[in-house]
Amino acid sequence: MMRGKARKTLHPFALLVGFVALFGAVCALRTLGGIAVDGLCAVGLVWRMVRSRRSLGFLLRLAVPLVLIYTLVGCWFVRPGEHIWWQGPALPLLGSPAVSVESIARALIQSIRLWSLLLLFSAFSEAATEDVISAWFGRRYARVGLTVAMVIRLIPTLLEERQRLAEWVWLQRGGDEGTAMSRVRRMRAQATVYQALLMTALERGWQMAESMYVRGYGHGRRTVFRIVRWRRWDTAIVFGAGVLLACAVGRLLMVSAERTAWAEAGLAITLAVYCVWLGRCL
C-alpha cells in the first residue's frame, strides 16, 4: 500500500539544509581520492532517488563524455605544474596554454566535481516536489509557492502530451508509408505539434482555474495544510549538515600538507556517511 512513503517524511527545510551542506562539502574537496568518493556518493544518492536502472544508466553514460571533454579542454586552462608535456602558442586573452600531468589531474578533479554537482542537483530536484517547494515559500508567499508548484506539475504533463502529439502527427503525415520529408514539411509537422500543445495547455489552464474558483481559491485569507511536521530526524539531519559544513570549512582553512590530507580524508568520510544517512531518509 501507498501509506507512509518514507521519502515524503523529511521536512522541506531539513531537506534544503541537507543538500546545501552536500553542495558545500563537494566544493571543498580538492584531491582525486576525495572527489572520487564524492562521485560515488552522488551516484548512490541518485540511485536511491530514481530507483531506475534506465535513468541511472543514462546518467552514467552521460558522465563519460562529460568528464572526458571537460578534462581535455580544462587541462589547457588550469595552472600547469612542473612536468609540462606540451606548450601551446600564445593566445590573445588566454595566454599560453600548457598541458601537464598536474593540469590533467586538476581538470579531472574539476570535471568529476562538476559531474557530482550535477548528480546531486538531479537528486535534489527529484526530492524537491511541488509540495516541498510550496512549503519553502511559507505562508507569507503561499500563493507564489502554489503557482510555482503548479508550473512544475504541468511540465511532465506537457512533455507527455507533446510525445502523444508527435506520435499523432507522425501517423497523420503517413509515417508508416516511408514518405521522404522535406525540411518545410518537417517544420510544419513540428509547428502542428506545438500549436496543439499550446491550445491544450490553455484549455487545461482554464479548467484548472475553474476548478480552483469553484473550490474557493482567491477569496479571503487562506490557511495552509501542514504536510510534514518537524521531527527528531529533521533535527538530526540539520545537525549532521552543520558537522559536514564545519568539516568543509576546516578543510578549506588547512594549510599544512599533512593536516590537509587528514582533513580531506575526514571530509570525504563524513560526506559519505552523511550521504548514506540522507539517502535513507529520502
Instruction: Output the CA angle 5-6-8, nearest 5 degrees.
Output: 80
Nearest alpha-carbon partner for 63 in 106, 278, 55: 55
Q: Quick check: 96 binds other proteins (CB under 8 A)?
A: no
CA distance 71 to 105: 8
Cell numbers 507564489 correspond to 144
Using DSSP, state whether 99 is helix, strand or coil: strand
Nearer to other proteins (CB atom), residue 31 or residue 192: 192
Among 4, 65, 89, 92, interactor with other proteins by CB under 8 A: 4
Q: Quick check: 130 binds other proteins (CB under 8 A)?
A: yes
Say how many residues touch other proteins, by CB under 8 A: 71
Q: Quick check: 92 binds other proteins (CB under 8 A)?
A: no
Q: Which of residues 10-69 bind other proteins (CB under 8 A)?
A: 52, 54
Instruction: Output the CA angle 170-173-177, nearest 5 degrees.
Output: 90
Nearer to other proteins (CB atom), residue 54 or residue 232: 54
Among 207, 236, 239, 249, interactor with other proteins by CB under 8 A: 207
Q: Which of residues 158-177 bind other proteins (CB under 8 A)?
A: 161, 164-177
Residues in contact with 36: Cβ distance below 8 Å, sequence separation at least 6, in sequence order: 112
Among 92, 225, 232, 256, interactor with other proteins by CB under 8 A: 225
Contact 76, 99 (CB under 8 A): yes
Tallying the residues shown for the chain, one arrives at 282
Q: Quick check: 94 binds other proteins (CB under 8 A)?
A: no
The nearest distance, CB 52 to other proteins, in angstroms, is 5
Q: Quick check: 183 binds other proteins (CB under 8 A)?
A: no
Where do the H-state alpha helices sit in 29-141? 32-50, 53-74, 101-127, 130-137
The nearest distance, CB 36 to other proteins, in angstroms, is 29
Nearer to other proteins (CB atom), residue 61 or residue 153: 153
Nearer to other proteins (CB atom), residue 15 or residue 35: 15
CA distance 155 to 260: 45
Nearer to other proteins (CB atom), residue 102 or residue 126: 126
Nearer to other proteins (CB atom), residue 83 or residue 167: 167
The nearest distance, CB 41 to other proteins, in angstroms, is 24
Nearer to other proteins (CB atom), residue 180 or residue 255: 180
Kindly provide the residue ranges of all beta strands, DSSP E only, lying in the chain, ordered along the sequence.
Answer: 84-87, 98-100
Q: Quick check: 143 binds other proteins (CB under 8 A)?
A: no
187: how many CB neighbours lie within 10 A of its CB? Answer: 11
What single letter denotes the amino acid at residue 94?
L
